[in-house]
Structure 1
Amino acid sequence: MISTTIGYANTARTLASLSQQRATGELTLSSGDRQWKLYFFHGRLVYGTGSLHRVRRWYRAVKQHHPHLNADCVSQEEPWEYHLLSHHVAQNQLNAAQAQTVIKSSLEEVLFSLVSNPVMTSDWYSMQRFSLKDNAALSLLLSSSQVEQVLQRSQALWKQWKALELDALSPYRAPILRQAAPTDSSSISPLPDKLNPFLTGQHTLWDIAAHAQRPITVVTQFLLPWLQQGAIALEEIPDLPPPLRQVHCPTGTGGKKKRPVIACIDDSPTVGQVLAAILEPAGYRVVNIQDPLSGIATLVKHKPDLIFLDLVMPDTSGYNLCNFLRKTPTFQNTPIIILTSQDGILDRTRARLAGATDFLTKPPEPQTMINLVQSHLGSILPLN
């Protein structure tokens, strides 16, 4: 591994250098809690992605360019987006040029996000992850000139974003309509009726721009007066759950590999979303239960292999529910992990007496959670 600190201009030179060296491996760029990964094979770009809204970006690119493509299955190999595109090319469901439109669309958004960070840490991992014998569609890889073109578009878009004084806004936030019109709406264009369904806090500015087939700058500038007067607010939203992870993408006749089921009993929907985002890419299926009392039937139906259980809930306590489950034959031997911010000795002792198997402190650290699950259920897929 080679680690350095670089600026954006050096990033462009780094990409050119990797191409000239015909390098194969993974370039990771980091700034704070943001991270971007660019994968290379013999100097050609395989795929580029970022840690923020990775799944939303995938669905957005596919829906925008190839809406009828099955986007819900992934390979266990990274980057899974590329391997799925490669699979569709090998099955003659896409040609290389069509697959490249998805790769370029994702890359342009990733690089737009990347250029907004003046200083980053760069880590290069040289690895032979891709090989000709494993991929029937290496013709979809991007050449250095194609990468440079996407980079130039991303940089031009970012310069326009800054010129419009939008750099304080994040296109990964979701607008939500607070009032029908701003206080002073005399000089503001009214919102089209077809835009209202996208102003519910469920769709990011990137999502709206892709749906409208307009540049992100145009969409955001149109909404800016409404934002400035508080009629529209921008809210953070989580990424979508990852697609179903399978050992092999289906060719039309194969079945899905059965995945262990993990139940999350917590009255907060956010906790369930976080667990799904962590565990589903590792090969598990997550069932979220917000109402523990009415959710018993859901538990019996799915018979989870492991249960995450919150201690503090409105209608019952985790202690009582854990004790109840241990008296139920179906769940007598099911691992029950207490997921809580109350992690004192008395809490642990009381939970143990109620039948808890283990503990995990909120908010969960992803790798710690995966390691804990694997200690009880075993590793079902190699982690990437």
Structure 2
Amino acid sequence: MWGNLKEIDFCSILRLIEMGQRTGILCVEAHSPPQKFNLGKETKNRLNSWLVFFVNGEIIYAGKDETSSASPSLSRLSDYLRHYRVKLAVEDLPNIEADELNPPEYAYIWKLLAENILEPKQARSIIHNLIQETLFDLNLLRQGSFTYINSVALNPQIGTWQVTPLLENLIHQAQQWQQFLPHIQSPQQFPILKDIPNLRSSLPIATVTRLQQWADGKTNLRQLARYLNRDVVTLAKAIYPYVQQGWVNVADSPVVPAKNSSSNQTLNLVSQSPAIVKPNQLRILCIDNSLEVCQQVQAICQEQGYVAIALNNSLEALSLMFQDPPHLLLCNVAMTELDGYQLCGMLRHSQYFATLPIVLLNDNHDFIHRTRATIVGATDYLTTPFTNQEMLNLLQSHLA
């Protein structure tokens, strides 16, 4: 069975295979980018092909055709492993012997399952999501060809999925996706927050913090959906109202946020990039609205060989701490989103930060403020402005 997507739509092809209870492989090739939908730059000026594997009319697996590639892309699997917090880089897996029947991605999933790195339920969930996103992309194609070949089924089989429920969900997703046009056009677009104050006034603080973590202009919608273990339509539906209002932008290519944005300012206090920071270097996180304080901490930290990062948003800092815990925290008590007392109290309720040295900064040195700092669990208290020697003594005291 073969033909052109202009003559028969993709959903009808799946129905024919299901009705015939066929076992084999459906190959779909896109000869040029779709006219109505932009599937991303990677589809331009090149031939893309996808494979959908069937057994008795049910789908086993679907993905890009990379069986002939010397170094197949495993980015989809890496994204899903990130969601399940599997502490294993795909690149570190031993090479799998070439298998004409099993695609590399499927073979790696089976390898993870066989070595008990993934649980059966997790492996089936990943494959189900891979099938759904592949079918979603294929359903957007309007130009291309297909070929169906009867062949032996994938072995071993991790699971099978009936075509009819998948189609019902696919049709529903296509209808919803039409509603997002022209504001959101492709799963390959990159969301970035534009108006954080308005978002904070409309959404819970935790939601905005999570959005700031992921919607960085460098991660596309499809990747975000994988990280969150959601389909891309559900994710697009969630951000669509804010895209309409201009609070969130979606770009066709990665965007680097402006460092001097007053609503989302991050100061990196060392010239070293995080990628080249030595494992044994001590990290200091400073949370303060004052640029002078940040610059002063910078100078002292550089002299001592420490890595220092300064943020003017305590919520962003809290999110960062769980990703890359510092060895010392300096926090001004007069922060607007989450003041120093509140942040210190929250951290002390977590066993993970029970022993972290926390120094609260304040321009008031009276007994009441010092006592309050002690009550919430602060390790030390420093009055601003402070001298270089005072900061140096503090660093040496808590980082020795």
TM-score normalised by the chain length of structure 1: 0.48
When Rg is computed on C-alpha atoms for both structures, the one with the higher figure is 2
